[in-house]
Structure 1
Amino acid sequence: MSTSNLSAVDGTDRLCVSERAQSVPSRVLHLRQLPADVSEQEVLTLALPFGQVNKLITLKAKNQAFIEMGSEEAAVTLMNYYTSATPTIRNQPIYIQFSTHRELKTDNLNNQAALQTINATEMHSGNMTTGVDGRGPARGQSPVLRIIVENLFYPVTLEVLQQIFSKFGSVLKIITFTRNSQFQALLQFSDPLHAQHAKAALDGQNIYNGCCTLRIDFSKLSALNVKYNNDKSRDFTRADLPTGELEPAAFGVALPPYGAAAFTPTFHQHTALSMGAVPGSLVSPQRMSLQMAPPPVHCVLLVSNLNPESISPHCLFILFGVYGDVQRVKILFNKKENALVQMTDATQAQLAMSHLNGQRLHGNVIRVTLSKHPVVQLPRGGAGQEEQALTRDFSGSALHRFKKPGSKNFNNIFPPSATLHLSNIPSSVSEEVLKDLFSSSGFTVKAFKFFLKDRKMALMQLASVEEAIEALISLHDHQLDHNQHLRVSFSKSTI
């Protein structure tokens, strides 16, 4: 909002921004030393925990803002709190003082309508937590936030979380883990109010446009105990901590592997938020996009800790093909426990990495990370027969699942599970035939069910996720009759 939207504060003069320091209480507060590209929402997060905000004026050219609280009492409570806890935006200290003005006058009606909606929604949702006397932030509130990332289309790293949440205060510690198939994190601020600000501003927002939605609540923990600094946990106050072995037991919570270590996107220096937008737009279900840059263009994955006795290019082509169209696969000649898998694009590579990193294949827990190689090179003419056999070009394969635009396969991408989805089943093939097919291949069938409305599809539950992975590799595209081949994928359902 520019000063052109301001009417005279006292009826005759424009708002003077060069006010002298004031100790006389006023419900109008003067904020200085704001970041050059600060958003109105970031300014509001400093004030909303203390009560209703009537008006907000930002003077971005001068890095200043004015806030009119709903009452002088709320403004005094805010000032008393920030006397002992320096307010910050993006780790930058902010200077706040009482203004000489007793009220603010503005002709921007849209802005004030939006503020009324924000105040009502914050109070209704409980984001504006107050103490027992109703005059300030709740005492004893935890500085630890529990974060769930829904619609996880791209991996989310410690660095990404630190970058986002440090806008609201000093982030001390972070622990990430996966529970109930959801990527989660525990994040500790230096102060409970900073945690409250972050929750109020970020809950329900997307890290990337249309995906990676943040669901934030306060943790019951009062502090985090981090033993290792690595891609799963970090104590930003202790640079001396060891890296550990990334074992789940190290953190005291379930930490199934998650393949985000090599992914560090770039943060845009501003948000899409604008107080001049349609009133109420700040409190829609997804109030603003954090506008982080899309992932870097990495299409090649490095797969390590493979079983060299069992692995083959075709095996990796089928498995990674569940999450994208694999173009090339190379098993390294001198290190056969490692392989390179080239996907069609970066999105498919991210999906495959996030779903397959840490899964067990042929008895080994595999690791999937982004490779520094832009493409997988085919063997040169002088390469030996074995080396040529370790590299395959699958660009022309008929088994690509995602080549057809709008394919239903795009809507049925799930993590590996013990339940398989079978499709393209001929009407002549019975339940017994399918069970025998899997059991004769060495897999234990726990349950089976045809779809009621479409007998061409069925669910089959095996003994473990590892068995299901190997069954998919072995039996996807298995010929059931003279012109129909079985299609196998992972299911989110259970029988």
Structure 2
Amino acid sequence: MLNYYTTATPHLRSQPVFIQYSNHRELKTDNLPNHGRGNAVHSGSMNLSRSGPASNGTVVGGQSPVLRIIVENLFYPVSLEVLHQIFSKFGTVLKIITFTKNNQFQTLLQYSDPMNAHHAKLYDGSLHSGTRLRLFSGGFDGQNIYNACCTLRVEYSKLSSLNVKYNNDKSRDFTRLDLPSGDSQPALDHAMAAAFGTPGIIPSPYTGAAGFTPAMAFPHPAGLSLQVVPGTLEPLSIPASAMAGRMAIHGMPPTAMNSVLLVSNLNPNNISPQGLFILFGVYGDVHRVKIMFNKKENALIQMADATQAQLAMSHLNGQRLHGKVMRVTVSKHQTVQLPREGQEDQGLTKDFSGSPLHRFKKPGSKNFQNIFPPSATLHLSNIPPSVTDEILQNLFAACGYSVRAFKFFLKDRKMALIQLGSVEEAIQALIDLHNHDLGENHHLRVSFSKSTI
């Protein structure tokens, strides 16, 4: 199974799934409540029981006051104060530890009561409305902190309590104001290490971002509309620099601050700097692309800043392109060097810093709100009135793509959705047809859609 899926990455809901061997020799289920029933009923909701013994400081998921929170699509930084403000809606937050693991910003958060954690995870609701940030009674799993980004994934932790050694911007024990501020969160104790499956220290502690003040005293940047719902939390706001998509994440290791990405396992027969510019340009403004002269399955891509580089990496790592699974990591290089005059390059290095095709050059652009993972459904825009659905479907079909469905937007025929046979097809179609000339001074705009037809 492992060998097969190494070369054929499986996908669930358009997201790549990576399979590897576990450190565990076997799964232990003997101590689970309701053993043999396959599931357990809690408060009228059906929850899958989680495997693992309930000893040594850990508890069965669903009974713990500790939540594990992953923030996906981290376009704007999320500080410890922001998390405390949000999750305090459902009860008293005792302790928080933030860290970065597997290129994901994660949090362990302990409530005073397990029911607080239960409601925070499961109670249905929403965090935002329209272009306004809005907090009210509602569960947080799957919700966005800010518009179209910073998506919360909330699950129960196997830990029964957190051991916080320092009060700083990475960890906080709200019951112990006497703790020192230490430089970093120390090594995990045994029970906490077991919960992560591997021993060692928490890597890459996250410390928020420049421009953020404590959550209750956020500045109100011009142009950002905020709405407060009576009887609920104070509003959160995004610094103007973050709204412009230029927020640098501080406290991360030097490589994580780098704006240059290393892309490997490319198909050297089909790849080009222009193609990589179009694809990675979905998630940020690409300044330079360099395909390695002696190893053409590798490329360096320089984004406008480190935040956009992290965003592109989180969405494109593991996606299939030209039959191969791309690997995207942060490069050790700080910049992509252009070839010296007279140096042989074969057109493998391109400077796109002045390209008119950058999607995010305008501060506050609506494109910031429409960043989604690769999907089989593409969003088409800038369509002239004379172009029919048949013309567009034939355009994609002529390029070798299988069109499964198509529809114009009812209120705006300048936009449409087209569903192709697979995510890989859609990725390639975006590369091939973004900026395609449709006539009448209209060039087709292609992006990934969160919708299906």
Shorter-chain TM band: 0.5 to 0.7
Q: Structure 1 residue 410: deviation in Å?
A: 2.5
Query: Where in structure 2 are there 5+ consecutive unaligned residues?
Result: 1-61, 88-92, 128-134, 161-189, 218-227, 240-246, 251-256
- CA change 1:264–1:375 in 2 (3 A) is farther
In the alignment, what sits opposite 2:13?
none
Q: Structure 1 residue 147: deviation in Å?
A: 2.7
Q: How does 1:8-23 map to 2 (within 5 A)?
A: none
- CA change 1:406–1:443 in 2 (3 A) is same
- CA change 1:186–1:299 in 2 (3 A) is closer
- After superposition, the C-alpha distances for 1:58-90 in whole angstroms (9 at most, x for unaligned) are xxxxxxxxxxxxxxxxxxxxxxxxxxxxxxxxx
Q: 1:272 aligns with which of 214, 225, 230?
A: 214
How many angstroms apart in 2 are the aligned matches of 1:144 and 1:176? Answer: 21
How many angstroms apart in 2 are the aligned matches of 1:308 and 1:263? Answer: 33
Deviates most, 389-398 or 367-376: 367-376
How many angstroms apart in 1 are the aligned matches of 2:196 and 2:450? Answer: 42
1:330 match: secondary structure: strand
Match for 1:295: what amino acid? I
Q: Larger C-alpha radius of gyration, 1 or 2?
A: 1
CA RMSD, 1 decimal? 5.1
How many angstroms apart in 1 are the aligned matches of 2:236 and 2:365? Answer: 30
Counting matched residue pairs gives: 311
Q: How does 1:419-438 map to 2 (within 5 A)?
A: 419-438=377-396
Identity of aligned residues (%): 59
Do the aligned residues in 1 keep the contact of 2:66 with 2:156 (CA within 8 Å)?
yes
Q: 2:305 aligns with which of 319, 336, 345?
A: 345
Residue 331, structure 1, aligned to residue 273, structure 2: no
Residue 314, structure 1, aligned to residue 274, structure 2: yes
In the alignment, what sits opposite 2:67?
145
Q: 2:415 aligns with which of 446, 457, 476?
A: 457
Match for 2:371: what amino acid? I
- CA change 1:284–1:302 in 2 (3 A) is farther
Q: Structure 1 residue 446: deviation in Å?
A: 0.4
Residue 295, structure 1, aligned to residue 242, structure 2: no
In the alignment, what sits opposite 1:407?
365
- After superposition, the C-alpha distances for 1:119-155 in whole angstroms (9 at most, x for unaligned) are xxxxxxxxxxxxxxxxxxxxx9326524353773258
How many angstroms apart in 2 are the aligned matches of 1:405 and 1:169? Answer: 36
2:207 match: secondary structure: coil
Do the aligned residues in 2 keep the contact of 1:168 with 1:198 (CA within 8 Å)?
no
Query: Where in structure 1 are there 5+ consecutive unaligned residues?
Result: 1-139, 178-182, 224-233, 244-260
2:295 match: secondary structure: coil
- CA change 1:466–1:154 in 2 (3 A) is farther
Q: How does 1:183-222 map to 2 (within 5 A)?
A: 219=156
Match for 2:287: what amino acid? Q
Deviates most, 412-421 or 477-486: 477-486
- CA change 1:383–1:242 in 2 (3 A) is farther
Q: Structure 1 residue 342: deviation in Å?
A: 1.0
Do the aligned residues in 1 keep the contact of 2:248 with 2:306 (CA within 8 Å)?
no
Do the aligned residues in 2 keep the contact of 1:155 with 1:354 (CA within 8 Å)?
no
- After superposition, the C-alpha distances for 1:415-438 in whole angstroms (9 at most, x for unaligned) are 111111111212222111111111
Match for 2:67: what amino acid? L
How many angstroms apart in 2 are the aligned matches of 1:375 and 1:241? Answer: 36
